[in-house]
Structure formats: C-alpha cells, structure tokens
C-alpha cells in the first residue's frame, strides 16, 4: 500500500509510557505475589488522582465494574434499573446479568446524555406502577459529562443511587469535579480503545474502605477465611491482572498529555467544520463541562448541507481507507432490548441518524490530518 493511502482507524491504541523492561519486571513480580503489587499501586495512583477522597478497586474490565456496582447496590431478580439509552451495550448488559429489567431513558440535546426531565418521568411512572427503580446508570458519552447537578438532585430526591459509567470520561470534569467521582459508585474502563488503556481493565470507585474490601473479596472468588477453600457467597473472577496493572500505570501517568492531544484533535475538526454549513462538532454546551473528547463526533444535517448526509462522508472516507463510525445506536432500538420500557421522545434516535465518529487517535500524523481534511472539504463542496 502506498504511503498516502494507508489505513487510518478511528482510534488506534497508543502504547507510549510503557517500556519493555517494566513489563519484564511486572512478569517477574507476577510470579510471586509481591507485597506492593502493581494492582495495588494502580489503585493508589487512581486514588491519588481523586485526592485520596475515594477508594478504588481495580478490576478486569469496565463491564465487570458495572456488574460489581450493581451487585454492591443489591440489584437482583425482579428489580428495575434505569439506564441511559444512548450508550454502548456494556452499560446495560450487567442489568440483565443480575436478572433485573433495564428501563431506558432518552438523551438531552446539548450533552447527548441522560435527559433529567425524562429521568424524573420514568421514576415517577415506575413508582406509580409499584416498582421503585433500584439504581440509575448515567453515562458520559464520548467523554462529555452528563448534567450531574440535575441527575444527582433527582436521584437524591427519590433516594436512588447513581452508577456513574465513566468508561469514556477519564480526565473529563464537571464544574471542576472529576468524572469518576460524581456517582454513588463510579466506574472506568481501561480497554484498548479508551483514552488510557491497560490492555484490558476496569476500576470501581467507591466511597468507603469497607465497600472496596467487599468488592475485592467478591472479585477474587469470595473465599472465606479458612484453611480450605470455603465459600458462603457467590464469587467472581473480576480482578485486574498484574501485567495489565503494570501496563496501565505507564499510561495513567500520561493522562494529562492524552487529554490535551484529544482536545487538539477536537479543535482540528472544529476549525474545518466552522466553514461548513450544516455540520456541528459535538462540543461542551457551557463552561460547566470539560470533555476529554475521547472520540470526536459530528452531526450532519442534510437539510442544511444541500442533501449531503453522514453516509456520503462515511463512504468518501472508506474509499480513502479512513475509518469513521456511526454514534451509538440507542439501546431501546436494539433487538435485544426492544421490549424493555422506554421513556423519552426521539432525541437519541435523531442523534443516531445524524451522528458520525471521526478518527480521533492522538497519534494521527500531520499528513494524515491533511488527508482527512481534504476528504471532508471535497465531500461538502459538492
Ligand atoms: C467501553 C465501555 C464500557 C465497557 O468497558 P470494558 O472495559 O470494555 O468492559 C462500558 N460503558 C461504556 C460507555 C463504554 O464505552
């Protein structure tokens, strides 16, 4: 393949901050349980990120962290859990793992995240029907914080805990408060495609040492204190591995720089689209919000672009070996969830119809930026 047509993925993992030698050390340490393991250090550093006001349990994925959050909140068979509809399926699947029912809620226009008005409608209606929701799962989509003041106010008013799905929002802030610290229980993901990766991993953020201890107990097969293997509770194999923790540590220490680079990709697209009618780049609605801009997304309104749709752009990109991808298809429109209760209008559906994610990796070169820019300009010049 010639130099000018190599493939540009939507996000390629960037493995800086990791030296081969440190992985070698991790491997040696991993064979004997060390006093201060990489997993403990990883947890301590994340706790430091929150000024040691929160407790962190490192797990093997963001999905298992959401599952663990629901277990700690006592979600079980027959319960209902409210979940933002416009998200990745991993936000909602753990509700089913607990044999509870998801109740989906629409997005608001400006943050694309859970709409407080429909959230309250959903809670009231479920209570009228005799089932008070056991938890609320709210998501910071693409790194954009949800409207935390309103979501928390409603949750507090009805006494329902919030699981903050911060899988995409490490480094984002709401009113100078760090995402990952806005829920009753919060989670991060360190999967390959996230802003900081551990080659797979997750974290649970809780407010007491006791909850952390309990999470780790459950995540390591719930072994009772005894000479033999004794179990009186259902356990899980959800702990982060030593190698992943070592890998993640190197990356975690580069967080600030990562966020800056992602925000610079966002500014790059803002510049290009400022001159193109009918396309908006997903951006912070007010100064209350600070997004890490994990993935840059745009909305294309064909009524204002002379009929050019996101599909035109997507196929022009594909021909040039550049990846782009529609934004999350809302959960209430997914075959697996279509029979579940839903509260809202068509905000998330409309976003899905117009929304496209663009290459947002921080290791996109100057030449690659030029290729991307020229495809965009050609497509909308028609
Ligand atoms: C990635 C992601 C998850 C799941 O995290 P994994 O580590 O991949 O299991 C959950 N929720 C959202 C919003 C995500 O983007």
pLDDT of 27 above 70: no
- Distance (angstroms) between ligand 1 centre and the Cα of 62 equals 5
- Residue 10: pLDDT band (50, 70, 90) is confident
- Residue 154: pLDDT band (50, 70, 90) is very high
Q: Give dist(CA 250, CA 151) in Å, integer.
A: 34
- Using most ligand atoms within 8 A of CB, pick from 88, 94, 328 the residue to mutate for ligand 1: 88
88 lines ligand 1 (CB under 6 A): yes
Place of tokens 């290791």: 363
Query: Percent of the chain scored above 90 by pLDDT?
Result: 86
Residue 176's Cα: distance from chain center in Å? Answer: 19
Half-sphere exposure of residue 6: CA atoms within 13 angstroms, side-chain side: 7
More confident site: 203 or 196: 203
pLDDT of 306 above 70: yes
Which pTM does this prediction carry?
Answer: 0.94
SS3 of 163, please? Answer: strand
Residue 2: the pLDDT is 47
pLDDT of 222 above 70: yes
Residue 324: the pLDDT is 97
Other CB atoms within 10 A of residue 286 CB: 7
Residue 120's Cα: distance from chain center in Å? Answer: 23
Indicate the average pLDDT of the chain: 93
Q: Give dist(CA 189, CA 247) in Å, integer.
A: 14
Query: Which atom of ligand 1 is nearest the CA belonging to 190?
Result: 7
Name the pairing type of β-strands 289-290 and 173-174: antiparallel
Model confidence pLDDT, tens digit, residues 66-89: 999 999 999 999 999 999 999 999
pLDDT of 297 above 50: yes
Nearest to 197 by CA among 252, 159, 146: 252
Q: Which helix (H) or strand (E) holds 105?
A: strand 101-105
* Closest CA to ligand 1's atom 5: 62
* Closest CA to ligand 1's atom 6: 62
- Using most ligand atoms within 8 A of CB, pick from 58, 59, 90, 203 the residue to mutate for ligand 1: 90
pLDDT of 292 above 80: yes
- Residue 307: pLDDT band (50, 70, 90) is very high
Whether the Cβ atoms of residue 78 and residue 100 lie closer than 8 Å to each other: yes
Query: Percent of the chain scored above 70 by pLDDT?
Result: 92
Residue 189's Cα: distance from chain center in Å? Answer: 7
87 lines ligand 1 (CB under 6 A): yes
Whether the Cβ atoms of residue 69 and residue 188 lie closer than 8 Å to each other: no
- Distance (angstroms) between ligand 1 centre and the Cα of 2 equals 35
More confident site: 18 or 60: 60
Q: Which helix (H) or strand (E) holds 162?
A: strand 162-165
Residue 223: the pLDDT is 94
Model confidence pLDDT, tens digit, residues 94-104: 999 999 999 99
Could you tell me the CA-to-CA distances from 146 to 223, 285, 289 in Å, in that order?
Answer: 38, 11, 9
- Distance (angstroms) between ligand 1 centre and the Cα of 19 equals 26
Nearest to 348 by CA among 302, 299, 291: 299
357 lines ligand 1 (CB under 6 A): no
Q: In the structure encoding, which two tokens stand for residue 267, read together? A: 């500014």
Alpha helix (H) ranges present in the chain? Answer: 20-31, 38-49, 62-72, 93-97, 116-128, 148-158, 209-219, 242-252, 255-273, 310-319, 347-354, 366-381
Residue 143's Cα: distance from chain center in Å? Answer: 7
DSSP conformational letter for 293: -
DSSP conformational letter for 94: H
Mean pLDDT of 284-291: 97
197 lines ligand 1 (CB under 6 A): no
Residue 1: the pLDDT is 44
- Distance (angstroms) between ligand 1 centre and the Cα of 305 equals 33
Cα-flanking dihedrals φ and ψ of residue 109, to 5°?
-65, -40
Could you tell me the CA-to-CA distances from 156 to 113, 152, 376 in Å, in that order?
Answer: 19, 6, 45
Model confidence pLDDT, tens digit, residues 270-279: 999 999 999 9
pLDDT of 51 above 90: yes
Q: Give dist(CA 95, CA 179) in Å, integer.
A: 22
Nearest to 247 by CA among 172, 190, 286, 303: 190
Residue 26: the pLDDT is 58
Nearest to 85 by CA among 115, 105, 63, 100: 105
Beta strands in 212-370 (DSSP E): 279-281, 289-290, 296-300, 325-326, 342-343, 355-358
Q: Give dist(CA 225, CA 76) in Å, integer.
A: 26
Model confidence pLDDT, tens digit, residues 314-349: 999 999 999 999 999 999 999 999 999 999 999 999
């Amino acid at each position: 393949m010639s130099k000018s047509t190599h493939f540009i993925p939507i996000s390629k993992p960037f493995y800086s901050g990791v030296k081969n030698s440190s992985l070698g050390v991790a491997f040696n340490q991993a064979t004997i349980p060390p006093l201060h393991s990489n997993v403990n250090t990883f947890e301590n550093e994340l706790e430091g990120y929150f000024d040691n006001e929160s407790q962190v349990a490192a797990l093997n994925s963001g999905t298992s962290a959401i599952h663990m959050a629901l277990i700690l909140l006592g979600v079980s068979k027959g319960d209902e859990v409210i979940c933002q509809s416009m998200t990745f399926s991993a936000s909602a699947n753990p509700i089913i793992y607990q044999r509870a029912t998801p109740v989906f809620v629409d997005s608001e226009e400006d943050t694309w995240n859970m709409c407080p008005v429909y959230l309250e409608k959903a809670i009231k209606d479920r209570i009228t029907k005799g089932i008070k929701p056991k938890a609320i799962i709210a998501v910071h989509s693409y790194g954009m914080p949800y409207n935390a003041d309103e979501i928390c106010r409603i949750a507090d008013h009805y006494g329902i805990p919030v699981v903050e799905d911060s899988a995409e929002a490490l480094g984002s802030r709401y009113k100078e408060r760090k995402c990952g610290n806005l829920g009753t229980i919060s989670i991060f993901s360190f999967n390959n495609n996230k802003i900081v990766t551990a080659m797979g991993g997750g974290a649970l953020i809780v407010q007491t040492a006791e909850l952390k201890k309990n999470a780790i107990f459950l995540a390591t097969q719930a072994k009772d204190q005894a000479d033999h293997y004794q179990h009186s509770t259902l356990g899980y194999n959800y702990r982060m591995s030593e190698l992943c923790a070592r890998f993640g540590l190197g990356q975690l220490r580069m967080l600030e720089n990562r966020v800056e680079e992602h925000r610079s990709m966002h500014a790059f697209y803002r510049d290009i689209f400022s001159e193109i009618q009918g396309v908006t780049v997903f951006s912070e609605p007010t100064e209350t919000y600070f997004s890490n801009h994990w993935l840059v997304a745009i909305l294309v309104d064909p009524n204002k672009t002379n009929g050019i749709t996101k599909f035109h752009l997507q196929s022009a990109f594909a021909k040039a070996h550049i990846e782009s991808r529609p934004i999350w298809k809302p959960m209430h429109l997914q075959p697996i969830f279509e029979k579940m209760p839903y509260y809202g209008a068509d905000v998330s559906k409309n976003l899905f119809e117009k929304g496209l994610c663009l290459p947002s990796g921080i290791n996109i070169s100057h030449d690659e930026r030029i290729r991307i820019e020229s495809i965009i300009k050609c497509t909308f010049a028609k």
